[in-house]
Chains A and B, each alone.
Chain A
Amino acid sequence: MNNYADFRVTDWVEDGPFRRWVYYGEKAEFWNRFRQEHAGQLAEMDQAREILLAVRGPLEELSETEVKSLVGEILNGIPDEPTIRPLPWWRSNWLKRAAMLLLVLGVAFSMVRQQPGLKKLQTLVAEVTDFSRPETIEIVNTTRDIQLVNLPDGSSVLLKRNGRITYPAQFLPEQREVSLSGEAFFEVVKNPEQPFLVYSGGMVTKVKGTSFSIRANDGDREVELVVKTGLVEVYAQETGDNGSNTAPRKILLKPNEQVTLNRKSLRMITKTVERPTLLNIPAEVQKFEFKRTPLLEVFAELENTYGIDIQADYDAIAHCTLTARLGDEPVNEKLDLICAVVNAQYNIRGRVVTVTAQGCE
């Protein structure tokens, strides 16, 4: 314990903890108690306090946002210099912010856009059955591993073993429709103008751009879905035999919410889960947040998550790092972003991604 009891004004002003209390309110509890227990010290302490405040003068605080924008202006004033050591422009904060902004905008958008509700379910459903259109692609995962399927709009689907997905070679302008049997994890490209619909074992899932898992195995009595990000709307597909003209009950799900549809009774039960894991694959829980992470690690994570094989000149990218929140974008968009950042190009062929990079200094 200090000899605070004997302190005079000149001692108090020199005392660091005392000053931090006066200026920043640190350890207020201690000081308040001290003041109660040392009434004889109050006059000296108050004097010291007043002197310190007078020394500081009025505090004209700049808000954090103000500081950020002022610093931003400074950063803008820095010329992009073509010096010997080119500046890694992507290291600045803007990318992180842009990524976050996109994420926030995306979520906000999907929330806003969910409002108008559903239109013409019947026609939607009718169109589903109309898969007789030419150029329908069907992919069945006969391998033992998960298989990445890139849809025409850039959305990614991770298909588990024996999963089957059917989709048109080109989506209709008004909506994107796929049908699934088996288990798959979806990362849907955000496009509020063109809703994305999944038909799976009697359940219809409608999203604008989110990520979620579906389990709809042919023999099962139930279909399940869990949401990783964004908002997802589900409803039971009309079978038509009850002839009702009322819209079916639809359920809006938020992240970490799971729905189970009984295929027979068409009853849907929702619950909240701690982790959105239905299929037990890495993509369901992967956050893709990187802070100065070596590119090698980022690639390893992508390979592990999407079951792809990234080929790159690993010596060239040895010094590259990435700071970004990639979130729930499909793998294509993640690669787009990463490559933009490290000044590289990529090329996907099947499950092999070839990255050509200049390297980072």
Chain B
Amino acid sequence: MKNTNYSPETHLILRWQQFCEDDKTAFSEIAELNYSALYHYGTRFTVDRDLIKDCLQDLFLEIWEKRHSLSGVAAIKPYLFQSLRNNLLRRVRKQSCFSDIHDDDVQDDLSPEISWIIQETDQLTSDRLKQAIDSLPKRQKEALYLRYYEDLSYEEIANVMGLQRQAVANYLQYGIHKLREYWSHSAILLVLCADFNWH
């Protein structure tokens, strides 16, 4: 157990097994390795940073509690993403005054708590592209995020979001199509913008 020059994935799996066997150091490493990504994912659902941190704390304490039953978890990152998502949506729903709305409503409504935030200061993305992505349903945006930024597979995204694989494929296809469509409308403008942005 001395030198661990494995790939990050293998390393994470090893550490996960150690964590399941009560290794606190492994647990802390797993938390440190995944915290940022989970936090950023959390910002997809709420602007309340403290709430995200709270949920992350709950999430990790919870998995520590039940560590002995977690050695069968093969896809660690999707598992963590899914857990955070469930925790966060539950909390967000509890906070909102519409306590009995359905899952879909929560995610697809433009409620302020669950808004995607695309900052104006992000200079690399043009305003109009922001508008385009803002106009996408939340679940599509989330699927795109998990697919492209987090590099998850269709199956993993399906697990995280509680969807069928085909639904994920549809979301992704539709999402990219919409973004592309926006592009063809503003192609001329963007050539200029892109040229400007690259210098």
Contacts and interface: CB of A to CB of B under 8 A. Distances in A.
Interface of A: 9-10, 13, 16, 19, 23, 42-43, 46-47, 49-62, 67-68, 70-71, 73-75, 77-78, 85, 87-89, 91-93, 291-292, 323
Main secondary structure of the interface of B (DSSP, over half): helix
Interface string B157-199: 0000000000000000000100110010000001100100110
A13 to B, nearest CB: 6
Q: How large is the interface on B (under 10, 10 to 19, 20 to 34, 35 or more residues)?
A: 35 or more
A9 B177 CA distance: 10
Interface string B92-115: 000000000000000000000000
Contacts of A51: 129, 176, 179-180, 183
A58 B118 contact: yes
Nearest to A10: B176
Contact of B130 (A10, A54, A71): A54
A92 B28 contact: yes
29 contacts: A13-B148, A13-B176, A47-B183, A47-B190, A49-B124, A50-B124, A53-B124, A54-B133, A55-B141, A55-B145, A57-B43, A57-B145, A58-B122, A60-B40, A61-B36, A67-B35, A67-B36, A70-B53, A71-B35, A74-B31, A74-B56, A74-B61, A77-B57, A78-B64, A88-B24, A89-B24, A91-B24, A93-B25, A93-B28
Contact of B43 (A42, A60, A70, A78): A60
Given A55-B141, A57-B145, A62 B35 contact: yes
Contacts of B23: 91
A213 to B, nearest CB: 30
B129 A68 contact: no
Contacts of B133: 54-55
A57 B118 contact: yes
B191 to A, nearest CB: 6
Given A55-B148, A58-B119, A92-B24, A70 B56 contact: yes
The 9 closest A-B pairs by CB, nearest first: A58-B119, A46-B194, A71-B31, A54-B133, A56-B149, A55-B144, A91-B25, A67-B35, A92-B24
Contacts of B122: 53, 57-58
A13 B32 CA distance: 28
A85 to B, nearest CB: 6
Contact of B28 (A58, A75, A77, A292): A75
A195 B18 CA distance: 46
Nearest to A78: B64
Interface string B36-50: 100110011000000
A323 B194 contact: no
A283 to B, nearest CB: 23
A92 B129 CA distance: 46
Given A16-B151, A46-B198, 12 more contacts: A9-B180, A50-B126, A54-B129, A54-B132, A55-B133, A55-B145, A60-B40, A61-B36, A62-B35, A73-B57, A77-B61, A88-B22
B194 A43 contact: yes
Contacts of A58: 117-119, 121-122
Contacts of A59: 40
Contacts of B2: 291-292
A62 B39 contact: yes
B71 interface: no
A191 B27 CA distance: 37
Q: Which of A13, A53, A55, A58: most chain B Cβ within 10 A?
A: A55
A154 to B, nearest CB: 29
A53 B125 contact: yes
A10 B28 contact: no
A77 B59 CA distance: 12
B157 to A, nearest CB: 13
Contacts of B149: 23, 52, 55-56
A40 B87 CA distance: 47
